[in-house]
Amino acid sequence: MDKLTVRDFDARDKRVFVRVDFNVPLEDGRVTDDSRIRASLPTIVHLMSQGARVVLASHLGRPEGKVQDGLRLRPVGERLSLLLRRNVPVTGDALGPGTEDAIKRIRPGEALLLENLRFHAAEEKNDPQFAAALASYADIYVNDAFGTAHRAHASTVGIASLLPAYAGLLMEREIRALSSLLEEPEHPYAAILGGAKVSGKLKVLDNLLTKVDVLILGGGMANTFLLAQGKSVGKSLAEHDMVEEARALLAKAEKRGVQVVLPVDVIVAKEVTRGTEYKTLPAEKIPASWHIVDVGKQTLDLIESALRDVRTVVWNGPIGVFEIPVFGAGTRHVARILADKAQAGATVVVGGGDSVAAVQQQGLASSMTHLSTGGGASLEFLEGRELPGIAVLLDRPKPTLVRAESPAPAEPPRVFRPAPRASELAAPTRTPMPAKAPAKSPASATTRGGPMNENPAAATTPAPSAAPAGKPAAPATRKPAGSATRRTASAKRKAGAPKTSARKPAATKRKPASAKRAASAGKRSTAKRKPAATKSAARKPATARKSATARKPAASRKAATAKKAATARKAATAKKSTTTRKSTTTKKSSPARKPASARKSPAAKKPASSARRPAAAKKKPRR
Q: How near is the Cβ of 278 to ligand ADP at its closest, in Å?
A: 12
Of residues 199 and 526, the one with the C-beta less far from ligand ADP: 199
Is 62 tagged catalytic? no
Q: Does residue 48 contact residue 113 with C-beta atoms inside 8 Å? A: no
Of residues 151 and 593, the one with the C-beta less far from Mg ion: 151
Is 197 tagged catalytic? yes
Of residues 355 and 584, the one with the C-beta less far from Mg ion: 355
Q: Does residue 249 contact residue 298 with C-beta atoms inside 8 Å? A: no
Q: How near is the Cβ of 282 to ligand ADP at its closest, in Å?
A: 16
Q: How near is the Cβ of 317 to ligand ADP at its closest, in Å?
A: 4
Q: How near is the Cβ of 390 to Mg ion at its closest, in Å?
A: 21
Catalytic residue among 200, 234, 353, 482: 353
Q: Is 133 helix (H, G, I), strand (E, B) or coil?
A: helix
Of residues 179 and 360, the one with the C-beta less far from ligand ADP: 360
Catalytic residue among 376, 421, 487, 530: 376
Contacted entry of ligand ADP, Mg ion, none for residue 383, CB cut-off 5 to 8 Å set by kind:
none
Q: Does residue 390 contact residue 171 with C-beta atoms inside 8 Å? A: yes
Number of Cβ atoms within 10 Å of the Cβ of 509: 11
Of residues 144 and 354, the one with the C-beta less far from Mg ion: 354
Is 36 tagged catalytic? yes
Q: What are phi and psi of 75, to 5 degrees?
A: -60, -30
Q: How near is the Cβ of 331 to ligand ADP at its closest, in Å?
A: 8
Q: Does residue 91 contact residue 76 with C-beta atoms inside 8 Å? A: no
Q: Does residue 449 contact residue 472 with C-beta atoms inside 8 Å? A: no
Chain positions contacting Mg ion, by CB under 5 A: 353-354
Contacted entry of Mg ion, ligand ADP, none for residue 77, CB cut-off 5 to 8 Å set by kind:
none
Contacted entry of Mg ion, ligand ADP, none for residue 424, CB cut-off 5 to 8 Å set by kind:
none
Catalytic residue among 7, 197, 270, 524: 197
Distance of alpha carbon 206 from the chain centroid: 24
Contacted entry of Mg ion, ligand ADP, none for residue 196, CB cut-off 5 to 8 Å set by kind:
ligand ADP
Of residues 1 and 196, the one with the C-beta less far from Mg ion: 196
| Positive or negative: CA dihedral 611, 55, 171, 315 | positive
Question: Rg for the chain (alpha carbons), in Å?
Answer: 27
Is 270 tagged catalytic? no
Chain positions contacting ligand ADP, by CB under 6 A: 194-196, 219-220, 237, 292-293, 316-318, 320-321, 323, 352-355, 375
Distance of alpha carbon 367 from the chain centroid: 23
DSSP 427: S
Of residues 160 and 358, the one with the C-beta less far from ligand ADP: 358
- Closest to 313 (Cα-Cα) out of 175, 209, 177, 191: 191
With vertex at residue 559, the alpha carbon angle to CA 558 and CA 563, rounded to the nearest 5 degrees, is 120
d(CA 186, CA 25): 36
| Positive or negative: CA dihedral 115, 118, 122, 126 | positive
CB neighbour burial string for 297-328, b if at least 16 within 10 angstroms, e if fewer: eebbebbeebbeebbbbbbbbbbbbbebeebb
Q: How near is the Cβ of 196 to Mg ion at its closest, in Å?
A: 7
Q: Does residue 269 contact residue 327 with C-beta atoms inside 8 Å? A: yes
d(CA 570, CA 592): 8
Contacted entry of ligand ADP, Mg ion, none for residue 292, CB cut-off 5 to 8 Å set by kind:
ligand ADP
Of residues 163 and 272, the one with the C-beta less far from Mg ion: 272
CA distances from 582 to 298, 590, 596, 608 (A): 63, 10, 20, 38
CB neighbour burial string for 169-181, b if at least 16 within 10 angstroms, e if fewer: bbbbbbbebbebb
Of residues 110 and 383, the one with the C-beta less far from Mg ion: 383
Q: Does residue 335 contact residue 357 with C-beta atoms inside 8 Å? A: no
Number of Cβ atoms within 10 Å of the Cβ of 34: 18
Catalytic residue among 14, 36, 396, 569: 36
Q: Spell out the alpha helix ranges (H) of 6-158.
A: 35-39, 41-50, 74-84, 97-105, 121-124, 128-135
What residues are labeled active site? 36, 197, 353, 376
